[in-house]
Amino acid sequence: MNSKTEQKAAHRVVIVGAGFGGLTAAESLARSAAQVTVIDRRNHHTFQPLLYQVATAGLSPAEITAPIRSILGRHKNVEVLMAEVTAVDLDRRVVQTADFEVPYDSLIVAAGASHAYFGHDEWEKFAPGLKTIEDALEIRRRILLAFELAERQAAAGEHLAPLNFVVVGAGPTGVELAGTLAEICRHSMAGEFRAIDPAKARIHLIEGGPNVLPTYPADLSRSALEQLERLGVEVLTSSMVSKVEAGAIYIGETRMEAAVILWAAGVSASPLGKKLGLPTDRAGRVLVNPDLSIPDHPEVFVIGDLASLKDVRGNLLPGVAQVAIQQGRFVAKIIRQEIARGMRRTPSANGREPSRPLFRYHDKGNLATIGRAAAVAEIGRVHLSGYFAWLTWLFVHIFFLIGFRNRILVLIQWASSYVTYERGSRLITGGTNLPGWRGFHPQGPEAERGPQEISAAGRK
């Protein structure tokens, strides 16, 4: 810190992560007296509720993302740095990256969470999860490639293994992926293949608990199950995955061949949580004070998926956008107020700031889509299923997308898909190796087998 800084003494707020929580906090601190630095390892904010649309070739990555710099650029007191935070020195009050440090007066850690493999990280390469744009593109690549390789194999007259898609985990993401996959197989791909029939592909949705959408009310869980089965998804509940390998998944002792396996189960908080050196829950979420600060450090807040906090009824707050957004707004308000009062903080004996309000989550409702005109919605005491739930889902998601252009583009994509059943971004990029495919050779592209002839008649 140089002398100029000490003279000016603007209150420095560092925000780690520009997901829903971090971005909301930054926007709530715009035009305040604070000097805000947002650090994210990506240059873009991702609208995660629509990631499954990128993974299933319905939308382009750019349509559900926006450069963090563009969103925040108009606020002169906010700067954006693209870097990966490696640690926080709570005593010196600096955030550390591999090659520089940023000092703070207040810190908001909103580094998010990812999927978890229950201690089996080696499953990841066979069963990718869905948390980033890169994840979505990898899943898209695998889904589209499975059809192409099946067609090629069938055309070459080889024995064709069943075209099985397996989705693990029946939370909102798993349900969305399975439902959309069913639609793709039955409709989008119809008529475009000669040697295989995409409609004969099977989609399995595997859930460890007894119900799909386990956090939803029982009637909506049941409705979601019915809607999934109507789309042709085979749902297996109370089924634990015991092993994943190239091209196969085990449910207990039973082996199931699979062209593509997708992982939508488990939560694992950002490793930054553990690095703070504070107590965390089993998923690695930081146990925060009711004002979202951490013990003994009223100047440090943890929000969003990385925070573990229970509501008044003792239920853990869910890892959804609404919680993160409300928390971002809540901590920004505390910081603004304390700057305005020129307050020096003096933590009480239990390590909390006594004068602060406590965070309360206002649940505005929950929405999960299953497919075309299929969804469930819980809005207060109103439970909706089917077409109206789906319409609600559609407009809520377009409304919350960032950027006017993205809203228009997504609206056109969906209108077009609704009429034509086509998916808007069906391109395979990033290579043609598919782990688990019978033709897959880790050492290179299909080098080992001898050539086989394709004859026009052999193609049926």
For 435, which DSSP code? T
Contact set for a second copy, span 27-46 (CB under 8 A): 35, 37, 41-44
Exactly one of 63, 176, 207, 378 is catalytic; name it. Answer: 176
Q: At CA 115, angle to CA 225 and CA 396, rounded to 5? A: 55
Interior/surface letters 105-121, b for 16+ CB within 10 angstroms, e for the rest: bbbbbbbbbbbbbeeee
Q: Return the number of the residue (192 or 229) whose C-beta is nearest a second copy.
A: 192
Question: How far is residue 97's CA from residue 447's CA, in Å, rounded to a whole number?
Answer: 43
Contact set for a second copy, span 420-439 (CB under 8 A): 422, 424-430, 432, 439
Among 8, 313, 344, 362, binds a second copy (CB under 8 A): 8
Q: Return the number of the residue (253 or 448) whose C-beta is nearest a second copy.
A: 448
Report residue 72: phi and psi, to 5°.
Answer: -100, -10
Beta carbon of residue 26, minimum distance to a second copy (angstroms, whole number): 14
Among 48, 53, 56, 60, binds a second copy (CB under 8 A): 60
160 sits near a second copy (criterion: CB under 8 A):
no
Instruction: Find, among 157, 349, 104, 120, the residue nearest to 245 by Cα.
Output: 120
91 sits near a second copy (criterion: CB under 8 A):
no
Beta carbon of residue 107, minimum distance to a second copy (angstroms, whole number): 14
Beta carbon of residue 421, minimum distance to a second copy (angstroms, whole number): 11
Instruction: Find, among 99, 82, 85, 78, the residue nearest to 13 by Cα.
Output: 78
94 sits near a second copy (criterion: CB under 8 A):
yes
Alpha helix locations (H) across 200-250? 218-230
Sign of CA dihedral 328, 330, 333, 334: negative
194 sits near a second copy (criterion: CB under 8 A):
yes
Is 79 annotated as catalytic?
no
For 114, which DSSP code? E
Q: Return the number of the residue (4 or 159) whose C-beta is nearest a second copy.
A: 4
Instruction: Find, among 26, 21, 61, 27, the residue nearest to 44 by Cα.
Output: 61
Contact set for a second copy, span 123-142 (CB under 8 A): 133-134, 137
Among 55, 63, 123, 288, binds a second copy (CB under 8 A): 63
Residues counted in the chain: 460
Among 121, 122, 124, 192, binds a second copy (CB under 8 A): 192
Beta carbon of residue 27, minimum distance to a second copy (angstroms, whole number): 15
Contact set for a second copy, span 441-460 (CB under 8 A): 445-447, 449-459
Beta carbon of residue 133, minimum distance to a second copy (angstroms, whole number): 6
Instruction: Find, among 360, 337, 353, the residue nearest to 300 by Cα.
Output: 353
Cβ(261)–Cβ(267) under 8 Å?
Answer: no
Report residue 257: phi and psi, to 5°.
Answer: -70, 145
Q: Return the number of the residue (137 or 244) whose C-beta is nearest a second copy.
A: 137
Cβ(440)–Cβ(434) under 8 Å?
Answer: yes
Q: Return the number of the residue (31 or 230) whose C-beta is nearest a second copy.
A: 31
Q: Give 222's contacts (C-beta < 8 A, 6+ positions apart).
A: 211
Among 110, 143, 156, 231, binds a second copy (CB under 8 A): 156
**CA distance to 41, 276, 435, 449, per residue, from 217 (Å):** 37, 36, 37, 52
Beta carbon of residue 232, minimum distance to a second copy (angstroms, whole number): 21
155 sits near a second copy (criterion: CB under 8 A):
yes
Contact set for a second copy, span 96-125 (CB under 8 A): 96-103
3-state class (DSSP) for residue 442 = coil
1 sits near a second copy (criterion: CB under 8 A):
yes
Contact set for a second copy, span 210-239 (CB under 8 A): none
Beta carbon of residue 277, minimum distance to a second copy (angstroms, whole number): 19
Report residue 339: phi and psi, to 5°.
Answer: -65, -45
Beta carbon of residue 347, minimum distance to a second copy (angstroms, whole number): 25
Question: How far is residue 131's CA from residue 369's CA, in Å, rounded to a whole number?
Answer: 18
Q: Return the number of the residue (122 or 446) whose C-beta is nearest a second copy.
A: 446
Residue written as token pair 């919605």:
377
Among 119, 191, 210, 314, binds a second copy (CB under 8 A): 191
Q: Return the number of the residue (232 or 424) whose C-beta is nearest a second copy.
A: 424
Question: How far is residue 2's CA from residue 9's CA, in Å, rounded to a whole number?
Answer: 11
Piece of 170-178, 191-199, 282-290, 378-386 that binds a second copy (CB under 8 A) = 191-199
Beta carbon of residue 455, minimum distance to a second copy (angstroms, whole number): 5
Contact set for a second copy, span 265-324 (CB under 8 A): none
Q: Return the number of the residue (243 or 438) whose C-beta is nearest a second copy.
A: 438
Cβ(293)–Cβ(352) under 8 Å?
Answer: yes
346 sits near a second copy (criterion: CB under 8 A):
no
**CA distance to 28, 129, 250, per residue, from 174 (Å):** 33, 10, 18
Contact set for a second copy, span 387-416 (CB under 8 A): 405, 408-409, 412-413, 416
Q: Give 444's contacts (C-beta < 8 A, 6+ positions apart).
A: none
So which residues are the catalytic ones?
A: 176
